[in-house]
Amino acid sequence: MKNGKSTLYDDLKRQILTMELDPDEALDEVAISERYGLSRTPVREVFRRLAGEGYVDIRENRGARVIPMNHSTLRNFFLVAPMVYAAIGRLAVSNFKAHQLVDLKQTQQRFRAATVSRDVLAMVVENNRFHAIMGEMAGNQYLEPSLERLLIDHARIGHTFYRPCDEDTERRLQLSADHHDFFIEAIERRDESAVVDLVFEHWELSRENMEIFVVPQGIKANLPSSI
């Protein structure tokens, strides 16, 4: 059973990923302490933990705030993401442990179930977890922090993708879920080339989806398509 501190940690992560908390939004320490029945010391400990993982920015005299997201953030995200994802994919093939593959499969089952039930929150959380597990499989202390930071903004930029509103968007969502199954199959047979090819195919789908929601209709995105 989770205690108040663990619940606060999980809730804040979820609220940041799903944009329930806006980028650069201030986190009211007093209000949060009262809401979760915690003293301010454990609340600050949660803030520091989230800051270390890239979710929160703690600034002198300004307290804790959700990590910001601006034009510079977006440009850097689109430039770096495919390189990091490809490196993670290659290393995951070589270094994964059996229990991680089981975890990946279980996460994909939950993601599939969420797409069927149209549970947007679960889709965002399970998709984020799926790619985080691939980072754990890679087991690289230099790449994993970069992946964790990318996944935060990947979720925030693309969260509206999980709200299918037309036939084409629904098709993209199902294709994204299919890619997850293909990743599992390729990793299981240790097919590095297939995983890397999937990384770029999955990235291109994600990039197109994110541009649909980031860029107003009729305006050219002018964002890097790949590296």
Whether residue 221 is contained in a domain is answered as no
Summarize pLDDT for 63-74 with one digit per residue, the tens.
Answer: 899 999 888 888
Residue after which a domain boundary falls, among 22, 42, 66: 66
Whether residue 119 is contained in a domain is answered as yes
- Rounded Cα–Cα distance for residues 67 and 155 (Å): 13
Give which of 124, 148, 149 is closest to 136, Cα–Cα. 148
Whether residue 222 is contained in a domain is answered as no
Instruction: Tell me: do 75 and 52 sit in the same domain.
Output: no
Task: Say how many C-beta atoms besides its own lie within 10 A of residue 93's C-beta.
Answer: 22
Q: What is the span of the domain harbouring residue 111? A: 71-214
Instruction: Tell me: do 167 and 137 sit in the same domain.
Output: yes
Instruction: Tell me: do 46 and 103 sit in the same domain.
Output: no
Instruction: Tell me: do 54 and 77 sit in the same domain.
Output: no
Summarize pLDDT for 152-183 with one digit per residue, the tens.
Answer: 999 888 776 666 667 877 888 899 999 999 99
Mean model confidence pLDDT for the chain: 88
The one-letter code for the residue type at 24 is: D
Instruction: Tell me: do 170 and 127 sit in the same domain.
Output: yes
Q: What total of structural domains would you count in the chain?
A: 2
197 or 212, greater pLDDT = 197
Summarize pLDDT for 74-103 with one digit per residue, the tens.
Answer: 888 888 999 999 999 999 999 999 999 999
- What pLDDT is stored for residue 74 in this prediction? 82
89 with 136: CB under 8 angstroms? no
- Rounded Cα–Cα distance for residues 155 and 38 (Å): 28
Check which CATH number belongs to the domain holding 203 and give it.
1.20.120.530
Instruction: Tell me: do 141 and 53 sit in the same domain.
Output: no
Tell me the mean pLDDT in the region 108-118. Answer: 93
